[in-house]
């Protein structure tokens, strides 16, 4: 079992390795708890006013329930990429991806708290009865149509696509597969009527801004170098 693990992640699962994995995972676990708590509060709270998010393009986009498949795959796509970077101790890939995602998610929470919004794009009655529409209804029941701007599904997908593209751990075929899946997820948010075109466009704009900050500045590079040096010292 250890041999299989070592071939997969390129590291031996000894005490030094586990200590480093735990150290890298802690910020993710702590932020996850904060995000879920904050999001649950704003989902349950009923604000006195909600701004309706809608564009003319939204009315031209058809409801295609099969796109619920990539929509669900988002949960695995984003989380497993982060977990992979942790297990392989890819410090730079992990922290750039982690900070990129959490910055956008935090901004989303702030916007949802200070500027409550809602969309009315969901079909009142499902046009068909099949496994895909059943999956759509599950999402509708778990996630309200309020506080969806900007789309975290879109923003995090772009962040994951960038992280995979930048990583040396993925070959060309996997990078292309990642781009295809990420694109399908972005499209799915509109085809299953979870998000307006406005949600998607603003999420893309936000991703461009934070891409420049986290992947094109010396501050983030220096931070990652310090983390790598500390990790190398503890892993000896």
What pLDDT, on the 0 to 100 scale, is given for residue 11? Answer: 64
Calpha distance 115→201 (Å, rounded): 18
What pLDDT, on the 0 to 100 scale, is given for residue 18? Answer: 85
Residue 230 has pLDDT above 70, yes or no: yes
Write the DSSP symbol of residue 52.
Answer: E
Calpha distance 229→12 (Å, rounded): 19
What pLDDT, on the 0 to 100 scale, is given for residue 229? Answer: 83
Residue 234 has pLDDT above 70, yes or no: no
What pLDDT, on the 0 to 100 scale, is given for residue 208? Answer: 97
Q: How confident is the model at residue 103 (pLDDT cuts 50, 70, 90)?
A: very high
Segment 2-20 shows an average pLDDT of 69
Peptide bond into 60 cis (omega under 30): no
Q: Please say whether the beta carbons of 14 and 232 come within 8 A.
A: no
Tokens of 203: 């999420």
What pLDDT, on the 0 to 100 scale, is given for residue 214? Answer: 95
Q: How confident is the model at residue 4 (pLDDT cuts 50, 70, 90)?
A: low
What pLDDT, on the 0 to 100 scale, is given for residue 5? Answer: 57
Tens digits of residue pLDDT in 78-93 = 999 999 999 999 999 9
Tens digits of residue pLDDT in 132-171 = 999 999 999 998 999 999 999 999 999 999 999 999 999 9
Higher pLDDT residue, 143 or 231?
143
Tens digits of residue pLDDT in 13-71 = 777 888 889 999 999 999 999 999 999 999 989 898 999 999 999 999 999 999 999 99
Tens digits of residue pLDDT in 160-204 = 999 999 999 999 999 999 999 999 999 999 999 999 999 999 999
């Amino acid at each position: 079992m250890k041999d299989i693990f070592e071939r997969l992640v390129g590291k031996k699962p000894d005490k030094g390795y586990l200590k480093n994995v735990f150290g890298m995972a802690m910020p993710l676990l702590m932020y996850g708890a904060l995000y879920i708590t904050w999001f649950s509060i704003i989902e349950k709270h009923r604000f006195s006013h909600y701004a309706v998010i809608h564009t003319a393009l939204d009315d031209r986009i058809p409801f295609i329930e099969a796109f619920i498949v990539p929509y669900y795959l988002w949960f695995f796509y984003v989380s497993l990429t982060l977990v992979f970077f942790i297990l392989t101790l890819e410090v730079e890939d992990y922290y750039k991806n982690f900070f990129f995602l959490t910055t956008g998610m935090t901004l989303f929470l702030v916007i949802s708290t200070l500027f409550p919004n809602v969309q009315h794009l969901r079909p009142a009655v499902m046009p068909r009865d099949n496994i895909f529409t059943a999956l759509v209804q599950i999402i509708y029941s778990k996630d309200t149509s309020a506080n969806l701007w900007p789309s975290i599904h879109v923003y995090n997908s772009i962040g994951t696509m960038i992280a995979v593209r930048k990583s040396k751990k993925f070959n060309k075929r996997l990078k292309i597969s990642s781009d295809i899946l990420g694109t399908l997820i972005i499209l799915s948010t509109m085809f299953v009527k979870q998000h307006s075109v406005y949600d998607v466009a603003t999420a893309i704009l936000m991703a461009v801004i934070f891409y420049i900050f986290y992947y094109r500045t010396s501050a983030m590079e220096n931070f990652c170098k310090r983390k790598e040096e500390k990790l190398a010292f503890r892993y000896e």
